[in-house]
Chains A and B, each alone.
Chain A
Amino acid sequence: MNYLLGLIVLLIKIAVMLGGLLLVASYLVWLERKLLARLQIRLGPNRAGIFGLLQPIADAIKLLTKEEIVPTAADGFIFRLAPAVVAVTAMMMFAVVPLGPDIRLFGRSVPMVITDLNVGLLFVFALSSLGVYGVALGGWASNSKFALLGGIRGAAQMISYELALGLSLVPVVMLAGSFSLTAIVDAQSGVPFIVLQPVSFAIFVISAMAESKRIPFDLPEAENELGAGFHTEYSGMRFGLFFLGEYVHIQVLGALTAVFFLGGWHGPWLPPVVWLMLKIFIVALIMIWIRGTLPRLRYDQLMALGWKVLIPVSLINIVVTGAFIQFAGFS
């Protein structure tokens, strides 16, 4: 009975989480387009509904009803699999993000996280690395030169930045003393880690943006060089899945930034979930602002930034943090 109830609660949580994610993702698209337009003195979507608010729905209908084309020369199975990999891994990452402190429901304590893994951080990393497969395989299976180049770029870029991303979080784990995201959030009940670890924060944000292939790191899909990169050959809802993956990824990014550096759901006055949402939203806004401002990096600059700047700096940062903890007795 207990198991059954647990299962039901879990399913409800998953449903709510997924529903929220997808809804937010679609409106994030609208927000990005609208905001980007304003940053560039344009109007943005304004035809579907007032302020173009129905645009995401129109987009979804269009994507769902468009003809799905699998190129003759493509490897059909992998071609169909790749977009799912991207979307699913992005959504699964949310499984370990704590939305707030435990609440009591029907006399039971219900954690506000789908599953509180004690290696949550590693789980996030594992999934984000898996997401690369979607990009690389999608590019390869399309059997088109642009897609292949995009896929290769994606793989290379993620390998490079994954390292910096991982290293940038080592100080956080050192400070929190745990891999569990819930524990990390709890460790920031006082001071958010952004204050203690500004360098880590900067490295994390940069690497995470590179991981999610957003401007200025969108080399895998660089339109003006590669058509659309790894998803050149995709159409209809399979393209939609790539798209969805990207915007879910933005939310994941916001959530992780909040969890690792901004104190997660901690905050005064407002309920915890709202705090978390707010923080995610702010991160997303900043990412859109970046997109509206910065040009794309050149490939050599991208690699130089990753290997020559971010990795050394994060290594030094780890040593410094370690020394600090050891000698200053900080914990």
Chain B
Amino acid sequence: MPTLKIDNREINVPAGTKVIEAAERLGIMIPRFCFHPALGSVGACRVCAVAFTEGPVKGIQMSCMIDAQDGMVVSTTDAEAVDFRRHVIEFLMLNHPHDCPVCDEGGHCLLQDLTVAGGHGLRRYRGLKRTHINQDLGPLVQHEMNRCIQCYRCSRYYQEFTGYRDLGVMGIGSRVYFGRSAPGMLESPFAGNLIDICPTGVYTDKPSRYIGRRWDYQRQPSLCIHCSLGCNLTASARYRQVVRHEARPNLEVNGHFICDRGRYGYAYASIADRPRQAMAAGTPGPIVDILAGAREAIQQTVEKHGPGSVAVVVSPRSSLETLAVVKEACGQHGWTGPAAAHTNRQALNRNTAVSCLRPELAVSLAADTEAHDVLVIGADPLNEAPMLALSLRQVQRRGGHVIVIDPRGVQLPFDFDHWAVHPSAMGAILQALIQEIGGHRATAPDTPATFDITKLARRLNASPRPVVVCGTDILTPHEIALAGDLARALRRTHKVAGLFYTLAGANAFAAALLHDQPVSTEAVLDRIEDGGVRLLVAVEQDLWREFPDRKRLQAALKRLDHLVVLDYVDSPLNREAGHFIPTQPLYESGGHWINQEGRLQAASPVMAGGEPIEITGGSDHPPRVFDRRIPGDEPLAAWRAVAALAGEDEADPAPQLKTALADFHPAVNLSTPEATGQRIDLEAIAHDLVESGPAPEPAEDDAPADAVVLLLVDWTFGTEPLSAMAPALTRMEAAPVARLHPDEIARLGLAEGRPVTVSLNGNRLTVPVQADPRMAAGVMAVPRHHLLEWQVFGETRVIVKRSQLKAESE
């Protein structure tokens, strides 16, 4: 622990800390361009010069290159150092173009700040400025290379940190160029971070290009709800429109970065067809009347058919507030539900994962990066939870090893081992692995010899810090419990071993705490079909888009006496519903979310709501008529609407929310502000599924020889319903295809590039075939793409017989 003195103040820092970081701990911000806490030092920009007056190093030195050592005396205000920095700034500005007024970085530009701070107000250089040709880097990132100051942050981030190779540095001398070898779409789904990381305006946000200046934005800490990781971000709104997301550093979750799905997925909150009007059977009306009508309909149904005839489904993406009020309402009135998962399997998967997550095993996304060996089971990081892939990349960068056991053709931007295992074999492999780890020789399951379980077990056993990552999308509860068992088995042999589940939905963890016995939409539909449920309330759950059997859903909804929908996305159900109540997305309501590791996090409301001025003004001048009311300000926070539906009168729902949150679950404690940002009390969650795990499922899934398992899976872009509404991301989406192993294509008599039609129980799904040699045999993966009507089979994992597949001619 070296102790050094900076500007006459003493500080004690861990060994290996750079002087620039030590100063930062004292609140002294030494200027920097190339240094970044996530990327480390390179000493490229020379602007962090300080004077070392005593100790092991002397003279003017770069504070980002020198480790803090005992006895150092550092002055940041030394005249020579200040002069040095001033000249460096002037040198960096020599070629800088004269375009701040039309640069989107202006207003939050590090170069601007340091130029002003360095006192360089007037250009003395009269020579010619070096210029560069820009590249089209795709729909997300704008390139303006003239503004570069050669700090190398971008190439270091892109190549070293994310592991992608298509952007880097070219040229020599004063002509170095940062870009792609040829213009084209950036391959990395983390490319948006270039915008945050570049200290100048070389990379700027393309979707929000020329929208405004940061000082005009309403900015609040927010969260990403496009997957279960709960990355932290700062949301900006202007003129009643969400215009930009930036990564918000949280060293325990997402570090300094977010993925592009999170960065650009915000458009759903401001698009023109977002429903903002309450409706009764498709006819707009004042929201108070509609709420009253819906409440009356519920009361009548309860009177006629009993409280159980009212059912509630809620989204695992909804805020904790909404979930709590829904839970309270169902509990108090005896309504059926709430259901917060589509199928029974998904509900069980989620709850199994949550109950397996013991406090001593849970690790955060950031702690993942410190793992030595990561075993990924049934998860496709890049597609299901993108930032997990970035975390795993850091494991690999530090010399760790990543093994993925998954039937899909998993891709990661670095070298890893992939065991493409048929889903039905996963359980056996895990069991064998657990036995091996426990020191018993396992009977080798029926797997190819390349998948050497003994070697893997030895490797994990030898690892100082193994982590088991497990998905919950394509697996069954049995395997999910086994993943937990595996982590526990490892823990018995190590002191540190982690377990990390990914879940379906940003608040899926909280949804798992709704019931001990999970309820699914599937089960609710059963009850509708047998006449037990007569009225359905869908809270922010767009069943039309997300329930995996649209036909069955529609038939069931027809049997209902009444449908009440509360949502902030447009859906045909909104107009069919007896009562539709518009709700607010998190930018307006704020709220709490519990991510997949059980961390409770808060998002602040960013704006008050209302129709964007862009829309009210028809993208011209805002209207000149002024009114106290903002057009389109009717939407309510979902919890308020639910409270109004369940409450006796129009009393203030705030106390109701408070009790609902307090009663939500003993593990969740919102009473102290410190609890936010921390993991909830996992100990307080019932762990009865743990240890043995449920009995293996009947061999239903054991695919017969002439069948394939059809998996409906997530893709980075195009499948997550909210981000799929973002126009900026549509160009990033690949067209939906069914991926199969080439041998499988041949075996099934299909042809690459040709569509295949899957017919099952009278439902059909047609999709082009694509060969992917990384896929496991006997598996077909189709994305739940918004351009595909995939909602046909009632499950996202089904067995398809060869006879049910038909190659289409074109």
A and B touching (C-beta < 8 Å)?
no
Chain A residues with CB under 8 Å of chain B are: none
Chain B residues with CB under 8 Å of chain A are: none
